[in-house]
C-alpha cells in the first residue's frame, strides 16, 4: 500500500508528544503507511477551543484523525484505531476476536489514564503511587500476560491490540525506563511482544524520529514531573 501512496491519506492532530497519539500513529508506522501529523501546540489548542458547532467533528480533546479525501473526521482514540485498522490490515477476522482486541485496547487506555492520573486531574502522591506500582500496575500487567497466554495477543497476523500494547508499554518504558523491569517481571511475554513489535524497521524508524523531536517527554506538564518525582523516590 505504502509504495503506491506518495501523499498521506490521513491527518492526525495531537499534542507535540507521542503519549495517546502514538496509539494511532504507530499503526500507520508499523504498516509503513504515510500519515501527516499536525502537532503544533497552538494549532491543537485552537481546534479544541472552537465551539462544537464550529468544529469539523464536535470533540473535547485530541487525537483527531481527518480523512483528507472525504473530509470525514473522527475523535476518540479507540474509535480512530478501530476505523483505520481494517484498511491497514490490522483487524482480526472473527467478530469475537475483534471484540477481544477492542477490550484489550480499552485496557491499555485505562492503564494510560491511571498513569497520567486522568489527564492530570490529580498529582501522584506517595501512598497512591506505591499502591499503583506494587498492586494496580502488576495486576494490569498480569491481565495482559494472561491474555497473551490465551492467544488474544501476540498472534499472527499482528492486530491493532498488539500495537496498542506497544503504544502503551513500549512508549512508557522508552520515556520512563525505570518501569522496564516492572513489565519484564510481571509480564515477560508481553515484554517480548513489545520488543518484537518495536523491531519492525518502519516503526523503529518512526519511534527514533519521535525521540529526536520530543526526547523522553511522556505525558508532559506537572503530572509528568510528579511521575518522575515518584520514580526518583523509588530509586533512592
Position 71 contacts its own copies (CB under 8 A): no
Q: Which residue has the cell 467478530?
A: 95
Residues in the chain: 236
Q: Shortest distance, CB of residue 166 to its own copies, whole angstroms?
A: 19
Contact by Cβ (8 Å): 148, 141: no
Q: Shortest distance, CB of residue 29 to its own copies, whole angstroms?
A: 21
Calpha distance 196→33 (Å, rounded): 19
| Touching its own copies, residues 99-118 (CB under 8 A) | 99-100, 102-103, 106-107, 110, 113, 117-118
CB closer to its own copies out of 146 and 217: 146
User: With CB under 8 A, what is the number of residues at the site for its own copies?
Assistant: 45
Position 39 contacts its own copies (CB under 8 A): no
CA atoms within a 13 Å half-sphere pointing along the CA-CB vector of 212: 6
User: Applying CB under 8 A, which of residues 59, 124, 160, 218 lies at the interface with its own copies?
Assistant: 59
DSSP 130: H
Position 9 contacts its own copies (CB under 8 A): no
Q: Shortest distance, CB of residue 194 to its own copies, whole angstroms?
A: 18
| Touching its own copies, residues 141-180 (CB under 8 A) | 142-147, 149-150
**What own/partner pairs with CB < 8 Å and gap ≥ 24 does 108-115 have?**
108/23, 108/164, 108/165, 108/167, 108/168, 109/23, 109/77, 109/78, 110/140, 111/137, 111/140, 111/168, 112/19, 112/20, 112/168, 114/140, 115/172, 115/219, 115/227
Which stretches of the chain bind its own copies, using CB under 8 A? 51-53, 55, 57-60, 70, 72, 74-80, 82-83, 86, 95-96, 98-100, 102-103, 106-107, 110, 113, 117-118, 121-122, 139-140, 142-147, 149-150
Amino acid at each position: 500500500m505504502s509504495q503506491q501512496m506518495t501523499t498521506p491519506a490521513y491527518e492526525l492532530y495531537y499534542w507535540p508528544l507521542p503519549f495517546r497519539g502514538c496509539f494511532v500513529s504507530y499503526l500507520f508506522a508499523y504498516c509503513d503507511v504515510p500519515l501527516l501529523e499536525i502537532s503544533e501546540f497552538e494549532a491543537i489548542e485552537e481546534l479544541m477551543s472552537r465551539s462544537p458547532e464550529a468544529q469539523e467533528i464536535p470533540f473535547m480533546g485530541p487525537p483527531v484523525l481527518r480523512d483528507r479525501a472525504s473530509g470525514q473526521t473522527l475523535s476518540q482514540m479507540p474509535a480512530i484505531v478501530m476505523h483505520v485498522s481494517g484498511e491497514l490490515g490490522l483487524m482480526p477476522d472473527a467478530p469475537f476476536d475483534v471484540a477481544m482486541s477492542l477490550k484489550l485496547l480499552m485496557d491499555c487506555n485505562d492503564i494510560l489514564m491511571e498513569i497520567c492520573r486522568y489527564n492530570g486531574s490529580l498529582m501522584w502522591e506517595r501512598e497512591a503511587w506505591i499502591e499503583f506500582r506494587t498492586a494496580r500496575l502488576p495486576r494490569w500487567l498480569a491481565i495482559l500476560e494472561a491474555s497473551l497466554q490465551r492467544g488474544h495477543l501476540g498472534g499472527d497476523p499482528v492486530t491493532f491490540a498488539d500495537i496498542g500494547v506497544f503504544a502503551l508499554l513500549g512508549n512508557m518504558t522508552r520515556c520512563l525506563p525505570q518501569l522496564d523491569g516492572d513489565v519484564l517481571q510481571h509480564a515477560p511475554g508481553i515484554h517480548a511482544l513489545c520488543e518484537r513489535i518495536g523491531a519492525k524497521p518502519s516503526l523503529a524508524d518512526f519511534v527514533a524520529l519521535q525521540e529526536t523531536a520530543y526526547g523522553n517527554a511522556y505525558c508532559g506538564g506537572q503530572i509528568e514531573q510528579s511521575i518522575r518525582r515518584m520514580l526518583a523516590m523509588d530509586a533512592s
